[in-house]
Structure 1
Amino acid sequence: MRVHLKWSLACVIAAASMSSVTAQEYTFKGGYPTPETAQKAYDDADLARAIEAYKFFFPTVSILGTWTGNINAGTRPNEVMLILHGMPEQVVFTPNSDTPYAGGNIDLSHGPMVVEMPPGPLMAVVNDLNQRYVMDMGIPGPDKGKGGKHLILPPGYKGTIPAGYHAVAATTDRVLLLVRVIPPKGDEAAGVALLKTVKIHPLNPSPDWRGIAWVDQGTKPGDFSPVSWERKLDYWKQLKNVIDNDPPYEAYRMEYGRLATLGIEKDKPFEPDARMTRILEKAAQMANDQMRVQSFADRRADRVVWPDRHWEWAVLRPENGTFDLPAYKDLDARSKWFYQAQIESPAMFRRDAGAGSLYWLGVRDANNAFLDGGKTYKLSVPLPVPANLFWSITVYDPETRSEIVTKQDKAALRSMFELKSLTGSTVDLYFGPKAPAGHEGQWVQTIPGKGWFTYFRIYGPQKAAFDGTWKPGDFVELK
């Protein structure tokens, strides 16, 4: 009886405690909310909605950052394209330094655009301004690197599609074209020359069509990310830009309804009062922090690549490149990927020997501690790496998700460049504030007092990269 009495008292105390908590949150008199409760309930609801809206539309605002960065670098939609080399001076979410990029802003409000890929080692992908996959071209596309004509259609296009084109419609008028080239024999200048042979033009060009011009960013600084907006009211202002200037996407109808409760509606002024401004700014900071936690301290068991290593899958869903499962969209996987990276494509996410590329995320050392820029680590990589094309490891800043900026002015070790003359069964790579003596050529500098993370990339991955018969070591701290 005494035991039963103890449990009864415990239950009463717990219930009273829960009632106290409930009473402190919201107060009702006669069944109706007090004015203070009504205000708090609305504030709480608006904050919760804003946090979820922030995460859902982050891919949209992120790729708008790239669109805007391209414009600031001198591009013009449908007219001037950008050559980008993936340098530490440029703020871009997790770029590689292996291959030069060609970035293009395409505006479909003037009609369909054609991209003619020449034969060769070129890889291209199109995402629209919802950062939704539209199509692959080149090696991972339907032309398989043999050259082909591709047609990017505006939303709802009803016109005739000529024969001989690979044609797909976008969900927005503004789309981003990204082309990469594998530099022949590591010759970057030859790779850039090959990029410029890609032909981009309207399906029905006007009589004054002058062709595409190219701007080479070189080592000039540039910001092609949403980092300067993402924790401020500016995030919501930039989102309103897309809502107003691109057609609504039917699949996002419920999410547009969520935005409407926050004062963001198509073709209506966005004029948040002081209360809503505070809520939106707080939501931007909280949601961004939550996305960072998920990216770098993920709790999902399926993040682990091998049970005896601390490497993680950079992307959690390999099925289709759009995070879609039969009954739902994997929102956590979507948020994790787009916080740290840009562009979605089935060729990037597949986990078999037919994949175009493979990305492993490294944030922890062999002791499961976060990577620390003040410490020195060794990473042992078995040779040969199972890559049909090439492989690399690149170091990034967890705040900007861009290449780490140090006095060394280098953030990657690459099989086509620094590591092209490797021999033996293993190569040891080093990461730390100072290069270990004799290993300067296999070292990336890090910053004391600052963390870092890395992507291990394999292009043209072979079966051994997926079946566990080959795997890199963990980062081991050198004392």
Structure 2
Amino acid sequence: MRAEREGEAKVRSIEPGHGSGPGGGGVVVERVEFRGGYPVAESAAESYERSDRHRAVEAYRFFYPVVSLEAILRGTRAAGAVDNESAPIVVARPHHVGFTLNSDTPYLGGGLDLRKSGPLVIELPSGPLVGLVDDHYHRWLVDLGLPGRNGPRGGKVLLLPPGHDGALPPESEGYEVVRCDTWQVLCALRALPLGGDVEAANALLGSVRFYPLARRDDPPVFTVLDRNEQPMDSTPLAWEDNLEFWRVLHAVVDAEPPVDELRSMLGLLAELGIEAGRPFAPDGRMERILVEAARQGRDELLVSAFASRRPDRTVWPDRVWEWVGLRPENGTFERPGSLDVEARDRWFAQAIVTSPAMFRREMGAGSLYWLGLRDGTGAYLDGGRTYRLRVPLPVPQTLFWSVTVYDAATRSEVVADQGQAALRSLFDKLEPEGADHVDLFFGPTEPAGAEGRWIQTVPGHGWFAYFRIYGPEQAAFDGAWRPADFEALDRAS
């Protein structure tokens, strides 16, 4: 009797209400076998297996944003960019593979290497620029342009590398000084093409300057690379379900100084053999565990993105539209007393970069992003079916609005023969004069009467849409205005 109480024979137990069987059944919970109070060798080995697997899945989910940011850096370099010297500029289209990029504005983005430059200046011209800097761990550092400290006036931001404690020249007093915990950072900028003037927006982006503070009197040239027609891939899709994910993560950890905020999670990585200053050389057992964890972790992230159980995901009670960002307070996913890990998982599974400006739900502040992935019946959107989206007019915006369609598997713009993935009020005739609504269409073939208001989808591929409003007005927040749900115009096969 005493042996049983200590668990000598009890290796598994059944937790009620979590599995198969009448009335809910149960899930099998593995237990460790003890003899005389000590774990039995075979049972202890099984426990290590489970423990390593659990740690690896949690590490995958926590560090996925890091690998995602590294993919952006590598993607821009593959397109010809050189850190601190050049960056690509694109109006994203389907051949630009990137998590929920849009075709509304031109992008300029690339890596800045503070180890190479020392203190580095970002000099912004005046104008409608929107941007940010995130560190190598995909953590927000500073907003640039309209959402930044100086708004549309431009100005200078000074990035200080890890541990920098040197004196700054007197003229830097007017700079916005930002301290970085990592050597490598990502700068991402967009220019709003007001009035549909993309050339002016490109020229504005091209006038942004990046240079070492030590070269402020003779700044080197920063080159903008036109990559509008060149395919690019800035995603970790090729790595996210295999061992390469961990190799990339190790490369980041090995290249950066330790960050105190991440101590516990970096410790977890060290238990898996991923540690700065130590080669990544998993044995066969650990390699198998890491591959399995990558597959499981990826699946769990996509469940958070596309099958969330959070009640606060819903925008309006009578619609199935969801918030992309669940936390409106900040760009760090912080809530009182803790980190909202589910909101963080959901965001980075389908999007990139963070800043407070991206999540604010305030009139006139930046932009609003809504996620549509189901029709009005609750069914996921199917690339083989035809849908209508009815948008009441006028849309409550001070700048423009758009709907962009993404492939659920790649979280990037849908690739179809049509060659476009967005309908944009700046460039497309989406608001008939005097009309109280406009109908947009989505499906494998253009329906009659669509008249340029159609996006082609691909049979066999699920898809989702982002509805974006730039410069949202009050009606977008208080429910006085809301788009309809997607409505299927044919029967499910």
Coarse TM-score class (shorter-chain normalised): over 0.9
What is aligned with 2:273?
Answer: 263
Alpha-carbon distance, 1:170 to partner: 2.0
Equivalent residue number for residue 54 of structure 1 = 60
Residues matched between the structures, number: 465
Superposed CA offset, 1:349-393 (max 9, x none): 011114211110111100011011111110011111111111111
Segment of structure 1 superposing worse, 458-467 or 68-77? 458-467
The alignment partner of 1:285 has SS state of: helix
**Structure 1 residues 339, 266: CA separation in 2 closer, same or farther (over 3 Å shift)?**
same
Q: Give TM-score, length-normalised by structure 2.
A: 0.91
Moved more, 27-36 or 75-84: 27-36
- Post-superposition CA distance 1:386-407 (Å, at most 9, x none): 1111111100011111000000
| Partners of 1:304 and 1:310 within 8 A in 2 | yes
> 1:278 maps to which residue?
288
| Off by >4 Å, runs of 4+ in structure 1 | 15-25, 206-209
- Residue 75 of structure 1 aligns with which residue? 81
Measured after TM superposition, the shift of residue 287 of structure 1 is: 0.4
- The residue aligned with 2:380 is 370
For structure 1, list consecutive stretches of 5 or more residues without a partner in the other structure: 1-14
1:22: how far off? 7.3
Check whether the contact 2:130–2:147 (CA below 8 A) recurs between aligned residues: yes
Which residue number corresponds to residue 119 of structure 1?
Answer: 126
- Contact residue 130 and residue 171 of structure 1 kept, 8 A: no
Aligned match of 2:443: 432
Partner of 1:31: 37
Which residue of the partner structure matches residue 242 of structure 1?
Answer: 252
Matched, 1:148 2:155: yes
Which residue pairs with 1:166 in the alignment?
176
Map 1:376-415; keep pairs closer than 5 Å. 376-415=386-425
Contact 1:75 1:215 in 2 (8 A): yes
SS in 1 for 2:338: coil
Contact 1:84 1:103 in 2 (8 A): no
Distance 2:13 2:388 in 1: 56
Question: For 1:265, what is the secondary structure of its paired residue?
Answer: coil
Partner of 1:190: 200
Instruction: Kindly provide the amino acid, as one letter, of the partner of residue 253 in structure 1.
Output: R
CA 169–261 in structure 1, closer or farther in 2 if over 3 Å, else same: same
Aligned to 1:63: 69
Q: Distance in 2 between matches of 1:129 and 1:69?
A: 15
Return the offset for 1:18: 6.6
Q: 1:184 to 1:18 in 2, by over 3 A?
A: closer
Return the alpha-carbon distance in structure 1 between the equivalents of residues 13 and 411 of structure 2.
47
Given that 1:99 and 1:183 are in contact with CA atoms closer than 8 Å, whether structure 2 keeps it comes out as yes
Instruction: Choose the corresponding residue for 1:89, options 88, 91, 95.
Output: 95
Counterpart residue number, 1:136: 143
Residue type at the aligned position of 2:463:
W
Q: More displaced, 159-168 or 142-151?
A: 159-168
Residue equivalent to 2:477: 466
Percent identity over the alignment is 50
Report the CA distance shift for 1:142/1:206 in structure 2 as closer, same or farther (over 3 A): closer
- Find the aligned partners of 1:18 and 1:63 in 2 and give their Cα distance: 39
Distance 1:371 1:420 in 2: 22
Q: Which residue among 185, 189, 211 is the counterpart of 1:201? A: 211
> 1 CA distance for matches of 2:147 and 2:13?
62
1:58 maps to a residue whose letter is Y
**Is there any run of 5+ residues in structure 2 with no aligned partner, and where?**
1-11, 17-25
Partner in structure 2 of residue 476 of structure 1: 487
Cα deviations by residue, 1:299-339 (Å, 9 ceiling, x for unpaired): 01010010100000001001111111120010010010011
| Residue identity in the other structure for 1:463 | Q
Distance in 2 separating the partners of 1:219 and 1:296? 31
Any conservation in 1 of the 2:404–2:423 contact (CA below 8 Å)?
yes
Q: Could you tell me how far 1:53 is from its partner in structure 2? A: 0.4
CA contact (8 A) 1:91 1:225 kept: yes
| 2:306 match | 296
Match of 1:6 in 2: none
Contact 2:383/2:457, CA 8 A, preserved across alignment: yes
Query: Matches of 2:90 and 2:316 in 1, distance apart?
Result: 34
Q: Distance in 2 between matches of 1:351 and 1:24?
A: 45
Q: Partners of 1:228 and 1:18 in 2: how far apart?
A: 37
- C-alpha change, 1:330 and 1:22, in structure 2 (3 Å) is closer
Evaluate the alpha carbon distance shift between residue 274 and residue 207 of structure 1 in structure 2; reply closer, same or farther with a 3 A threshold. farther
Aligned-CA RMSD value = 1.9
- 1:11 aligned partner: none
Per the alignment, in what secondary structure is the counterpart of residue 176 of structure 2?
strand
* CA 24–315 in structure 1, closer or farther in 2 if over 3 Å, else same: closer
Q: Helix, strand or coil for the counterpart of 1:454?
A: strand
How far did residue 91 of structure 1 move? 1.1
Q: Is the 8 A contact 1:121 1:139 kept in 2?
A: yes
- Amino acid of the structure 2 residue aligned with 1:36: E
Deviation at 1:148, TM superposition (A): 1.1
Q: What displacement does 1:155 show?
A: 2.3
Cross-structure match for 1:43: 49
Matched AA of 2:74: T
Paired residue secondary structure (2:177): strand
CA distance in 2, matches of 1:23, 1:120: 59
When residues 24 and 106 of structure 1 are mapped into structure 2, their CA distance, relative to the original with a 3 A threshold, is: closer
1:171 to partner: Cα distance: 2.1
TM value normalised by structure 1: 0.94
Q: Which amino acid aligns with 2:112?
A: I
Corresponding residue of 1:327: 337
Q: Distance in 1 between matches of 2:34 and 2:411?
A: 46
Task: Measure the CA separation in 2 of the matches of 1:207 and 1:319.
Answer: 40
Aligned equivalents of 2:489, 2:96: Cα separation in 1: 31
- Code of the residue aligned with 1:472 in structure 2: it is P
Note if contact 2:380-2:462 (Cα within 8 Å) is conserved in structure 1.
Answer: yes
Q: 1:206 to 1:426 in 2, by over 3 A?
A: closer
